[in-house]
Amino acid sequence: MSIFIDENTKVVVQGLTGGQGRFHGLRNKAYGTRIVAGVTPGKGGQDVEGVPVFNTVAEAVSATGANASFVSVPPKGAAAAILEAAEAGIPFVVCITEGIPAHDEARVYNILVDKYPGTRLLGPNCPGIISPGKCNIGITAGEIALPGGPVGIVSRSGTLTYQALYELKQLGVGVTTCVGIGGDPVPGTNFVDCLSAFQADSDTLAIAMFGEIGGSEEEKAADFIAKEVTKPVVAYIAGVTAPPGKKMGHAGAIISGSKGTAQAKMEALSAAGVHVVNNPTEAGIKMAEIVKEL
Protein backbone atom coordinates (compact mmCIF):
# COMPACT_ATOMS: atom_id res chain seq x y z
CA MET A 1 0.00 0.00 0.00
CA SER A 2 0.92 3.66 0.28
CA ILE A 3 -0.32 6.69 2.18
CA PHE A 4 -2.38 9.64 0.88
CA ILE A 5 -1.92 8.73 -2.84
CA ASP A 6 -1.78 5.64 -5.04
CA GLU A 7 -1.97 4.54 -8.67
CA ASN A 8 -5.66 5.52 -8.82
CA THR A 9 -5.13 9.14 -7.73
CA LYS A 10 -6.38 11.62 -10.34
CA VAL A 11 -4.51 14.92 -10.25
CA VAL A 12 -5.45 18.41 -11.42
CA VAL A 13 -2.52 20.83 -11.79
CA GLN A 14 -3.43 24.37 -10.76
CA GLY A 15 -1.09 26.51 -12.84
CA LEU A 16 -0.45 23.93 -15.56
CA THR A 17 -0.08 26.62 -18.23
CA GLY A 18 2.69 28.37 -16.27
CA GLY A 19 6.37 27.53 -16.58
CA GLN A 20 6.80 25.61 -13.32
CA GLY A 21 3.38 23.98 -13.42
CA ARG A 22 3.90 22.78 -16.97
CA PHE A 23 7.42 21.47 -16.35
CA HIS A 24 6.69 19.56 -13.17
CA GLY A 25 3.14 18.58 -14.09
CA LEU A 26 4.32 16.95 -17.30
CA ARG A 27 7.21 15.27 -15.47
CA ASN A 28 4.70 13.80 -13.05
CA LYS A 29 2.60 12.65 -16.01
CA ALA A 30 5.62 11.05 -17.68
CA TYR A 31 6.31 9.19 -14.44
CA GLY A 32 2.89 7.58 -14.70
CA THR A 33 0.85 9.86 -12.46
CA ARG A 34 -2.72 10.30 -13.68
CA ILE A 35 -2.64 14.01 -14.53
CA VAL A 36 -6.22 14.47 -15.71
CA ALA A 37 -6.61 18.24 -15.89
CA GLY A 38 -5.07 21.66 -15.53
CA VAL A 39 -6.62 24.85 -14.19
CA THR A 40 -5.80 28.40 -15.22
CA PRO A 41 -8.52 31.08 -15.02
CA GLY A 42 -9.28 32.43 -18.47
CA LYS A 43 -7.57 29.60 -20.33
CA GLY A 44 -10.31 27.00 -20.18
CA GLY A 45 -10.65 25.02 -23.41
CA GLN A 46 -6.92 24.91 -24.08
CA ASP A 47 -4.77 21.85 -23.48
CA VAL A 48 -1.17 21.18 -22.50
CA GLU A 49 0.20 18.19 -24.36
CA GLY A 50 -3.17 16.49 -24.29
CA VAL A 51 -4.13 17.53 -20.75
CA PRO A 52 -7.36 19.61 -20.83
CA VAL A 53 -7.32 22.99 -19.12
CA PHE A 54 -10.31 24.37 -17.21
CA ASN A 55 -11.12 27.79 -15.78
CA THR A 56 -11.93 26.49 -12.30
CA VAL A 57 -11.12 23.49 -10.14
CA ALA A 58 -14.84 22.77 -9.77
CA GLU A 59 -15.14 22.42 -13.56
CA ALA A 60 -12.09 20.15 -13.66
CA VAL A 61 -13.46 17.92 -10.90
CA SER A 62 -16.85 17.69 -12.55
CA ALA A 63 -15.33 16.73 -15.91
CA THR A 64 -12.55 14.39 -14.78
CA GLY A 65 -13.25 13.16 -11.26
CA ALA A 66 -9.95 14.59 -10.01
CA ASN A 67 -9.34 13.81 -6.33
CA ALA A 68 -5.97 15.51 -5.79
CA SER A 69 -4.52 18.89 -6.69
CA PHE A 70 -0.99 20.04 -7.42
CA VAL A 71 -0.77 23.78 -6.69
CA SER A 72 2.02 25.44 -8.65
CA VAL A 73 1.13 29.13 -8.68
CA PRO A 74 2.95 32.27 -7.46
CA PRO A 75 2.81 33.16 -3.75
CA LYS A 76 0.20 35.89 -4.17
CA GLY A 77 -2.31 33.44 -5.65
CA ALA A 78 -1.42 30.28 -3.73
CA ALA A 79 -3.74 30.76 -0.75
CA ALA A 80 -6.74 31.34 -2.99
CA ALA A 81 -5.78 28.34 -5.13
CA ILE A 82 -5.63 26.04 -2.10
CA LEU A 83 -9.01 27.19 -0.87
CA GLU A 84 -10.51 26.84 -4.35
CA ALA A 85 -9.41 23.21 -4.42
CA ALA A 86 -10.94 22.62 -0.98
CA GLU A 87 -14.19 24.28 -2.03
CA ALA A 88 -14.31 21.96 -5.04
CA GLY A 89 -14.13 18.95 -2.74
CA ILE A 90 -10.53 17.92 -3.46
CA PRO A 91 -9.43 15.73 -0.51
CA PHE A 92 -5.66 16.06 -1.03
CA VAL A 93 -3.83 19.24 -2.04
CA VAL A 94 -0.08 19.50 -2.61
CA CYS A 95 1.34 23.04 -2.67
CA ILE A 96 4.99 23.48 -3.66
CA THR A 97 4.92 27.30 -3.68
CA GLU A 98 7.66 28.99 -1.69
CA GLY A 99 7.44 32.46 -0.17
CA ILE A 100 3.78 32.49 0.91
CA PRO A 101 3.42 34.98 3.80
CA ALA A 102 3.10 33.22 7.15
CA HIS A 103 -0.18 34.99 7.93
CA ASP A 104 -1.66 33.65 4.69
CA GLU A 105 -0.53 30.14 5.63
CA ALA A 106 -2.07 30.44 9.09
CA ARG A 107 -5.34 31.79 7.67
CA VAL A 108 -5.62 29.00 5.10
CA TYR A 109 -4.74 26.32 7.64
CA ASN A 110 -7.47 27.48 10.01
CA ILE A 111 -10.06 27.80 7.25
CA LEU A 112 -9.32 24.23 6.17
CA VAL A 113 -9.68 22.96 9.73
CA ASP A 114 -12.90 24.92 10.27
CA LYS A 115 -14.70 24.63 6.93
CA TYR A 116 -13.00 21.86 4.94
CA PRO A 117 -11.90 19.12 7.36
CA GLY A 118 -12.09 16.61 4.52
CA THR A 119 -9.19 18.31 2.71
CA ARG A 120 -5.59 17.55 3.62
CA LEU A 121 -2.97 20.12 2.59
CA LEU A 122 0.63 19.04 2.04
CA GLY A 123 3.01 21.99 2.14
CA PRO A 124 3.37 24.75 1.21
CA ASN A 125 7.04 25.10 0.28
CA CYS A 126 7.51 21.37 0.00
CA PRO A 127 8.81 18.93 -2.64
CA GLY A 128 5.56 17.01 -2.61
CA ILE A 129 4.89 13.30 -2.28
CA ILE A 130 5.85 10.17 -4.18
CA SER A 131 4.66 6.59 -3.88
CA PRO A 132 7.35 5.04 -6.09
CA GLY A 133 5.99 3.25 -9.13
CA LYS A 134 2.46 4.49 -8.42
CA CYS A 135 2.13 8.27 -8.22
CA ASN A 136 4.34 11.36 -7.97
CA ILE A 137 2.90 14.80 -7.16
CA GLY A 138 5.41 17.64 -6.90
CA ILE A 139 9.03 18.19 -7.82
CA THR A 140 10.75 14.98 -6.67
CA ALA A 141 12.69 13.18 -9.40
CA GLY A 142 11.09 9.77 -9.78
CA GLU A 143 14.38 8.24 -10.91
CA ILE A 144 15.85 8.37 -7.40
CA ALA A 145 13.04 6.38 -5.75
CA LEU A 146 12.95 2.59 -5.58
CA PRO A 147 9.42 1.10 -5.48
CA GLY A 148 8.19 -1.70 -3.33
CA GLY A 149 8.69 -0.74 0.30
CA PRO A 150 8.96 -1.51 3.13
CA VAL A 151 10.15 1.96 4.26
CA GLY A 152 8.10 5.12 4.64
CA ILE A 153 9.89 8.48 4.64
CA VAL A 154 8.81 11.83 6.07
CA SER A 155 11.03 14.92 5.87
CA ARG A 156 10.91 18.67 6.49
CA SER A 157 13.74 19.34 4.07
CA GLY A 158 13.36 18.94 0.32
CA THR A 159 17.04 18.24 -0.23
CA LEU A 160 17.09 15.64 2.53
CA THR A 161 13.97 14.08 1.01
CA TYR A 162 15.89 13.48 -2.20
CA GLN A 163 18.99 12.23 -0.42
CA ALA A 164 16.94 9.86 1.74
CA LEU A 165 15.36 8.30 -1.34
CA TYR A 166 18.67 7.96 -3.15
CA GLU A 167 20.58 6.58 -0.16
CA LEU A 168 17.97 3.82 0.19
CA LYS A 169 17.89 3.12 -3.54
CA GLN A 170 21.66 2.63 -3.57
CA LEU A 171 21.24 0.07 -0.79
CA GLY A 172 18.40 -1.71 -2.59
CA VAL A 173 15.75 -0.63 -0.08
CA GLY A 174 12.35 0.28 -1.50
CA VAL A 175 9.91 2.94 -0.33
CA THR A 176 6.13 2.79 0.12
CA THR A 177 5.64 6.56 0.24
CA CYS A 178 7.97 9.53 0.73
CA VAL A 179 6.35 12.71 2.08
CA GLY A 180 8.07 16.09 2.05
CA ILE A 181 6.12 18.20 4.56
CA GLY A 182 8.06 21.42 3.95
CA GLY A 183 9.93 23.76 6.24
CA ASP A 184 7.53 26.69 6.63
CA PRO A 185 6.18 27.72 10.06
CA VAL A 186 2.61 26.55 9.33
CA PRO A 187 2.65 23.24 7.43
CA GLY A 188 -0.65 21.72 6.41
CA THR A 189 0.59 18.21 7.25
CA ASN A 190 3.06 17.49 10.05
CA PHE A 191 5.25 14.66 11.28
CA VAL A 192 2.56 13.16 13.50
CA ASP A 193 0.07 13.05 10.61
CA CYS A 194 2.54 11.05 8.52
CA LEU A 195 3.73 8.82 11.37
CA SER A 196 0.12 7.93 12.14
CA ALA A 197 -0.56 7.07 8.50
CA PHE A 198 2.61 4.97 8.21
CA GLN A 199 1.76 3.14 11.44
CA ALA A 200 -1.64 2.23 9.95
CA ASP A 201 -0.18 1.15 6.59
CA SER A 202 0.37 -2.61 6.51
CA ASP A 203 3.05 -2.38 3.81
CA THR A 204 5.18 0.17 5.66
CA LEU A 205 7.30 -1.79 8.12
CA ALA A 206 9.85 0.87 9.09
CA ILE A 207 9.94 4.68 9.06
CA ALA A 208 12.69 7.18 8.26
CA MET A 209 12.22 10.68 9.66
CA PHE A 210 14.29 13.72 8.68
CA GLY A 211 13.89 16.82 10.81
CA GLU A 212 15.73 20.06 11.42
CA ILE A 213 16.17 22.85 13.93
CA GLY A 214 13.31 25.18 14.79
CA GLY A 215 9.87 24.71 16.30
CA SER A 216 8.75 21.72 18.33
CA GLU A 217 7.32 19.35 15.74
CA GLU A 218 10.10 16.78 16.20
CA GLU A 219 9.51 16.74 19.96
CA LYS A 220 5.79 16.20 19.34
CA ALA A 221 6.70 13.41 16.96
CA ALA A 222 8.90 11.82 19.63
CA ASP A 223 6.01 11.85 22.09
CA PHE A 224 3.70 10.29 19.49
CA ILE A 225 6.26 7.62 18.59
CA ALA A 226 6.70 6.65 22.23
CA LYS A 227 2.95 6.22 22.68
CA GLU A 228 1.63 5.04 19.31
CA VAL A 229 4.31 3.77 16.92
CA THR A 230 5.35 0.11 17.10
CA LYS A 231 7.47 0.11 13.94
CA PRO A 232 11.21 0.90 13.99
CA VAL A 233 12.05 4.55 13.30
CA VAL A 234 15.35 6.01 12.14
CA ALA A 235 15.82 9.78 12.45
CA TYR A 236 18.31 12.42 11.41
CA ILE A 237 18.09 16.03 12.62
CA ALA A 238 19.84 18.69 10.55
CA GLY A 239 21.36 21.79 12.13
CA VAL A 240 23.58 20.52 14.94
CA THR A 241 26.07 23.36 14.36
CA ALA A 242 23.51 26.11 13.81
CA PRO A 243 24.02 29.16 16.06
CA PRO A 244 21.07 30.11 18.32
CA GLY A 245 18.71 32.74 16.92
CA LYS A 246 19.82 32.35 13.32
CA LYS A 247 17.43 31.21 10.61
CA MET A 248 18.92 28.38 8.60
CA GLY A 249 17.31 28.04 5.16
CA HIS A 250 13.67 27.45 6.01
CA ALA A 251 11.33 30.01 7.51
CA GLY A 252 10.57 27.58 10.32
CA ALA A 253 14.20 26.64 10.97
CA ILE A 254 15.07 29.12 13.66
CA ILE A 255 16.14 28.41 17.23
CA SER A 256 14.52 30.48 19.99
CA GLY A 257 16.68 30.38 23.10
CA SER A 258 17.11 26.77 24.19
CA LYS A 259 14.06 25.61 22.25
CA GLY A 260 14.19 24.01 18.84
CA THR A 261 17.83 22.96 18.96
CA ALA A 262 18.99 19.87 17.12
CA GLN A 263 20.36 18.41 20.35
CA ALA A 264 17.03 18.75 22.18
CA LYS A 265 15.21 17.07 19.32
CA MET A 266 17.75 14.24 19.12
CA GLU A 267 17.49 13.62 22.86
CA ALA A 268 13.69 13.53 22.74
CA LEU A 269 13.69 11.07 19.83
CA SER A 270 16.33 8.85 21.45
CA ALA A 271 14.28 8.73 24.63
CA ALA A 272 11.32 7.54 22.54
CA GLY A 273 13.32 4.59 21.24
CA VAL A 274 14.18 6.07 17.85
CA HIS A 275 17.48 5.18 16.18
CA VAL A 276 19.04 8.66 15.92
CA VAL A 277 21.97 8.97 13.49
CA ASN A 278 24.52 11.67 12.69
CA ASN A 279 24.05 12.13 8.93
CA PRO A 280 21.77 11.05 6.05
CA THR A 281 24.15 8.34 4.85
CA GLU A 282 24.13 6.74 8.29
CA ALA A 283 20.33 6.88 8.19
CA GLY A 284 20.31 4.83 5.02
CA ILE A 285 22.80 2.30 6.36
CA LYS A 286 20.90 1.92 9.64
CA MET A 287 17.62 1.50 7.82
CA ALA A 288 19.09 -1.16 5.54
CA GLU A 289 20.25 -3.06 8.62
CA ILE A 290 16.79 -2.84 10.14
CA VAL A 291 15.06 -3.98 6.94
CA LYS A 292 17.27 -7.08 6.80
CA GLU A 293 15.99 -8.10 10.22
CA LEU A 294 12.28 -7.56 9.45
Which residues belong to the active site? Answer: 250
The span from the CA of 267 to the CA of 98, in Å, is 31
Q: Which residues pair with 291 in a beta bridge?
A: none
Residues in the chain: 294
Q: How many CA atoms, within 13 angstroms, populate the side-chain half-sphere of residue 111? A: 14
The span from the CA of 143 to the CA of 285, in Å, is 20
| Cα 243–chain centre separation | 27
Strands of the chain (E only): list them: 10-14, 34-39, 47-48, 51-54, 68-71, 92-95, 120-122, 128-131, 135-138, 150-155, 174-180, 206-212, 233-238, 275-277
In sign, the C-alpha dihedral spanning 226, 231, 140, 87 is negative
